[in-house]
């Protein structure tokens, strides 16, 4: 048993000036190109993912490959900056494939694949990891049949696959890159609870692709990439939670009933305060995870699980409170709140639910369950 | 000016890390630790500006960066210097010190800050009264001016440490004819003065941690007034802000505090483990770690000279977590959770939280959401001052205190 006495160092949990500048740039772009009415309208079109916006984010702000070294076509920054971008994308529920592409980036970096990284960094190619969106880091992979590098089988509910050009498929102990134009690959977008981040079902029928890596490294690399995904997802959840609080507070200040602003009623004020307290904690947790990811700290598995275990219920509660505090308008299609409720709900399931992350923490920290011994 | 109010540029003007280290070493040459008298050593340490380096010279500091305190502590610990124990004088360090530095005269600082820091003179806080708790501005203790003195009559309750304090922070009403927030004045009260009577009050732990204090014609020299006459509310607000902070400061290592005790109980009692309890324990671990990181982040922001609004949030969460964690700990313990060390009436000895008995921790934690501003009041503070939500309509703001229903 490890660890009860150990206390890993706590890095810088603040936002640096560079990070704040990046945030401002991303927010300005999103304000122009992804106001909530635009985001809502897009969900009912044939192209729910905004590829043009994604290209701008990638090409002009370097958001698609922040932690990738400059000689590989990236921005030479770190996952800390990527997390700040995730916060802003969450705040806007922007329909761009940032999360899926970030997981793919982490995976490609881990297996040392350069060609795909370049296309990804420029925003020209969208790359997604073909595992079910709901699976937690390190969870067993969907078994796929591999026969002479031809892959067959179903992977349901893949994150950011609907718009993907390339799928990264772990199968038969190897990792393959499959072009979606391959005749053996079929990607079927699902009607998704979270309209701003649709999932898609992947069906492979003797599909062929390039083998990128083989052996035990594959499973480890996939888990590590999912862990990066968990860290960024937490940042995105922080962005959603903050936006929900902001929307709720603005409404409570503005809306009058019984001859006074709603926010002057203590029952409502205290609920908003509770949310603010929770979000204060969530910020520290999300920053810690981002810093661990950026520095490759040995505490990263704990930090990532902690981040998911804390941020999932936080974002969900923020979105649910935001809806309730808006009353009837909060329940209408033509208003912003349901976009956040749906995003927070999917976030709580994507990359593992909070209880799975708590169970993972139990193992990592040496806090055994009833049947186990330590 | 403290590190809290000075920006990073100003802090940089003070001595840097190597200079601070030099000062410590120089100091140790003049004050060897072997066989040192603790009190004499601490006094000299204060005079050398090594008490808290971020404070100004003369007040126990060097005007240095707040982060550099660690340099001092590490060096002194390494040579086994006599220990400074802030827990001996929590109200002194947490409330009296900051209040005096912010509102006191130079003379008052000179008189009180050093013995406060060394622990020679403990402090208590005479704020709450039977009729005024959350609504502190409704207090009724009267101070009437007679020449260079004030004569005080009133009754204070829940005064922690009054039995061992040398000095007290006192708020009293000096003008009942104006609305309640405007008629208050802030004093330092000598707890040894004639007319001060301290009666222990017993609390749910069995101990007499707090007291009733009767002030019967106590004479306070006007030189012991802090701030202007009628400004007591503003000064008290300053004290309370520090109180909320002082209950929480210091980034503890992971697994320190109540959560460490809970995990230890979990390990010691495999027979008590169920799936339901397991998830609750892990969930509390998540919340406790989040609270720890929040404090760490807040301190980092303070060090950059940007105090965030997290103080009240940290206190709220700290209270809730202490209560939940200590409750689950009793459930994990089972039989041992049914036992209590000693209910006999006695004055409590300060013990580190985790060294106290689980049953005591559980009971004592119930006060965490009452002392230093209740959790309800703090939620209102967060709602109004952090989120900017409008206040509730009030009936007591513009009416003279003497005309209020009480
Ligand atoms: C262990 C302990 C140590 C203490 N030490 C000291 C000390 O050293 N010095 C000192 O001066 N005081 C001390 N106190 C007193 C403490 O500050 C007060 O108890 C506290 O401020 C609450 O006041 P009250 O007890 O009069 O409760 P009340 O103000 O009567 O409150 C009763 C309940 O009503 C709620 N409430 C009150 N007003 C509102 C409102 N406007 N909106 C919503 N809810 C409201 C409160 O939150 C509480 O739940 C101590 C208390 C404890 C428990």
The CATH number of residue B266's host domain is 1.20.140.10
Pick the more confident residue, B267 or A5.
Answer: B267
Residue nearest to atom 27 of ligand 1 (CA): B133
**pLDDT confidence of residue B10:** 42
Residue B211 in contact with ligand 1 by CB distance below 6 A: no
| Cβ atoms A34, A53 nearer than 8 A | yes
Length of chain B as a residue count: 406
Query: Is residue A335 in some structural domain?
Result: yes
**pLDDT 10s digits, A278-293:** 999 999 999 999 999 9
A1 pLDDT more than 60: no
Catalytic residue among B75, B129, B207, B243: B243
Domain count, chain B: 3
Q: What is the pLDDT of residue B286?
A: 98
Residue B137 lies in a domain: yes
The whole domain housing A80 covers: 17-99+114-124
* Domain membership flag for residue B299: yes
Which residue range forms the structural domain that includes residue B362? Answer: 247-386
Shared-domain flag, residues A94 and A234 = no
In angstroms, rounded to a whole number, what is the distance separating the alpha carbons of residues A106 and A224? 8
Cα angle: A236, vertex A237, A239; to 5 degrees: 65
B139 and B204 belong to one structural domain: yes
B296 and A361 within 8 Å at the Cβ level: the answer is no
pLDDT tens readout for residues A125-175 = 999 999 999 999 999 999 999 999 999 999 999 999 999 999 999 999 999
- Quick one: what percent of chain A has pLDDT higher than 90? 96
Calpha distance B298→B291 (Å, rounded): 10
- Between residues B4 and A19, which one has the greater pLDDT? A19
In a domain, B378, yes or no: yes
Q: Give a yes or no: residue A246 inside a domain.
A: yes
Per-residue pLDDT at B11:
43
Whether chain A has a CB inside 8 Å of the CB on B237: the answer is no
pLDDT at B247: 41
State whether B104 and B128 are in the same domain. Answer: no
pLDDT bucket at A124, cuts 50 / 70 / 90: very high
Question: Mapping DSSP to helix (H, G, I), strand (E, B) and coil, where does residue A146 land?
Answer: strand
- The pLDDT averaged over each successive group of 10 residues in chain B (406 residues) is 36 77 94 92 96 92 88 92 90 93 95 96 97 96 98 97 96 97 97 98 94 98 98 90 53 89 96 96 98 92 73 92 98 96 91 92 97 94 95 90 88
Are B261 and B353 part of one and the same domain? Answer: yes
Q: Decide if A332 is inside a domain.
A: yes
Angle at A285 between CA A64 and CA A355, to 5 degrees: 95
Contacts of B304 in chain A (CB under 8 A): 14
- Which chain B residues contact residue A374 at CB under 8 A? 267
Q: What is the mean pLDDT of chain A?
A: 96
**A231: pLDDT strictly greater than 50:** yes
In this prediction the pTM is 0.92
Residue A47 lies in a domain: yes
Identify whether the C-beta of residue B242 lies closer than 8 Å to the C-beta of residue B99.
yes
The per-residue pLDDT for B248 is 41
pLDDT of residue B243: 56
Q: Is the CB of B331 under 6 A from ligand 1?
A: no
Q: Is residue B236 part of a domain?
A: no
The domain that holds B153 is classified in CATH as 2.40.110.10
Beta-carbon separation of A306 and B282 below 8 A: no
Same domain assignment for residues A226 and A94: no
CB B135 within 8 A of CB B105: no
**Ligand 1 centroid to residue A314 C-alpha, Å:** 29
| pLDDT value of position B9 | 38
Domain membership flag for residue B150: yes
Q: Is B376 in the pocket of ligand 1 (CB under 6 A)?
A: yes
- Whether the pLDDT of residue A82 is over 50: the answer is yes
Asked whether residue A7 is assigned to any structural domain, the reply reads: no
Q: Is B228 a catalytic residue?
A: no
A163 occurs within a structural domain: no
SS (H, E, C) chain B: CCCCCCCHHHHHHCCCHHHHHHHHHHHHHHCCCCCCCHHHHHHHHHHCCCCCCCCCCCCCCCCCCHHHHHHHHHHHHHCCCCCCCHHHCHHHHHHHHHHHHHHCCHHHHHHHHHHHHHCCCCEEEECCECCECCCHHHCCCEEEEECCEEEEEEEEEEEECCCCCCEEEEEEECCCCCEHHHCEEEEEEECCCCCEEEEEECCCCCECCEEEEEEEEEEEEHHHEECCCCCHHHHHHHHHHHHHHHCCCCCCCCCCCHHHHHHHHHHHCHHHCCHHHHHHHHHHHHHHHHHHHHHHHHHHHHHCCCCCCHHHHHHHHHHHHHHHHHHHHHHHHHHHHHCCCCCCCECCCCCCHHHCCHHHHHHHHHHHHCCCCCHHHHHHHHHHHHCCCCCCCCCCCCCEHHHCCC
Quote the number of domains for chain A.
Answer: 2
> Is the confidence at residue A201, as pLDDT, over 80?
yes
B345 lines ligand 1 (CB under 6 A): no
Choosing from B127, B158, B316 the residue with most ligand 1 atoms within 8 A of its CB, the one to mutate for a pocket test is B158
């Amino acid at each position: 048993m490890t660890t009860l006495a150990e206390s890993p160092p706590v890095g810088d949990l603040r936002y640096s000036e560079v990070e704040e500048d990046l945030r401002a740039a991303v927010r300005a772009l999103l304000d122009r190109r992804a106001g909530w009415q635009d985001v809502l309208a897009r969900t009912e079109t044939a192209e729910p993912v905004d590829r043009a916006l994604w290209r701008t984010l990638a090409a002009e702000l370097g958001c698609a490959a922040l932690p990738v070294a400059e000689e590989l076509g990236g921005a030479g920054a770190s996952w800390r900056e990527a997390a700040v971008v995730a916060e802003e994308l969450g705040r806007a529920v922007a329909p761009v494939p940032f999360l899926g592409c970030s997981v793919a980036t982490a995976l490609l970096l881990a297996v040392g694949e350069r060609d795909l990284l370049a296309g990804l960094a420029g925003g020209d190619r969208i790359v997604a990891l073909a595992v079910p969106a709901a699976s937690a880091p390190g969870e067993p992979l969907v078994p796929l049949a591999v026969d002479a590098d031809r892959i067959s089988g179903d992977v349901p509910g893949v994150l950011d696959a609907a718009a993907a050009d390339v799928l990264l498929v772990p199968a038969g102990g190897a990792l393959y890159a499959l072009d979606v134009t391959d005749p053996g690959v079929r990607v079927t977008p699902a009607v998704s609870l979270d309209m701003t981040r649709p999932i898609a079902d992947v069906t492979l029928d003797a599909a062929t692709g390039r083998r990128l890596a083989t052996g035990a490294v594959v499973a480890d690399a996939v888990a590590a990439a999912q862990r990066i995904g968990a860290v960024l997802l937490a940042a995105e959840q922080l962005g959603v939670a903050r936006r929900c609080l902001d929307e709720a507070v603005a409404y409570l200040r503005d809306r009058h009933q019984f001859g006074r602003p709603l926010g002057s009623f203590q029952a409502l004020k205290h609920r908003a305060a509770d949310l603010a307290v929770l979000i204060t904690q969530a910020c520290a947790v999300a920053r810690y995870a981002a810093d661990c990811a950026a520095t490759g700290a040995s505490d990263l598995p704990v930090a990532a699980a902690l981040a998911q275990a804390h941020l999932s219920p936080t974002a969900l509660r923020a979105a649910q409170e935001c809806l309730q505090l808006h009353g009837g308008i909060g329940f209408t299609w033509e208003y912003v709140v349901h976009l956040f409720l749906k995003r927070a709900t999917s976030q709580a399931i994507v990359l593992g639910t909070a209880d799975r992350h708590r169970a993972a923490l139990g193992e990592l920290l040496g806090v055994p369950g009833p049947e186990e011994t330590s | 000016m403290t590190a809290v109010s000075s920006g990073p540029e100003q802090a940089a003007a003070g001595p840097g890390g190597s200079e601070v280290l030099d000062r410590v070493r120089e100091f140790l040459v003049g004050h060897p630790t072997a066989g040192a008298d603790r009190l004499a050593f601490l006094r000299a340490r204060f005079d050398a500006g090594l008490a808290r380096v971020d404070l100004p010279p003369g007040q126990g500091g060097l005007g240095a960066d707040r982060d550099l305190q660690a340099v001092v502590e590490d060096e002194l610990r390494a040579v086994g210097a006599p220990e400074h124990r802030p827990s001996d004088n929590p109200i002194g360090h947490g409330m009296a010190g900051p209040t005096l530095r912010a509102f006191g005269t130079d003379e008052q600082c000179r008189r009180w800050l050093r013995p406060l820091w060394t622990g020679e003179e403990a402090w208590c806080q005479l704020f709450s009264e039977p009729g005024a708790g959350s609504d502190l501005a409704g207090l009724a203790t009267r101070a009437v001016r007679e020449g260079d003195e004030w004569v005080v009559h009133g009754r204070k309750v829940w005064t922690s440490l009054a039995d061992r304090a040398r000095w007290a922070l006192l708020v009293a009403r000096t003008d009942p004819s104006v609305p309640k927030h405007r008629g208050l004045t802030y004093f330092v009260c000598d707890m040894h003065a004639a007319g001060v009577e301290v009666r222990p009050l017993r609390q749910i732990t069995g101990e007499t941690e707090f007291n009733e204090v009767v002030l019967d014609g106590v004479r306070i020299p006007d030189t012991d007034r802090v701030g202007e006459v009628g400004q007591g509310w503003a000064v008290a607000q300053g004290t309370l802000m520090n109180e909320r902070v002082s209950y929480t400061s210091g980034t503890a290592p992971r697994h320190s505090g109540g959560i460490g005790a809970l995990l230890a109980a979990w390990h010691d009692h495999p027979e008590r483990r169920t799936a339901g309890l397991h998830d609750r324990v892990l969930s509390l671990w998540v919340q406790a770690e989040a609270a720890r990181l929040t404090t760490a982040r807040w301190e980092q922001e303070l060090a950059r000279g940007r105090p965030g609004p997290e103080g009240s949030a940290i206190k709220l969460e700290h209270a809730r977590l202490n209560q939940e964690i200590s409750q689950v700990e009793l459930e994990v313990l089972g039989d041992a959770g049914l036992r209590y060390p000693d209910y006999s009436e006695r004055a409590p000895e300060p013990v580190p939280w985790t060294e106290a008995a689980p049953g005591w921790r559980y009971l004592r934690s119930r006060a965490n959401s009452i002392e230093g501003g209740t959790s309800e009041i703090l939620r209102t503070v967060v709602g109004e001052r952090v989120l900017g939500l409008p206040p509730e309509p009030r009936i007591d703001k513009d009416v003279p205190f003497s005309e209020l229903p009480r």
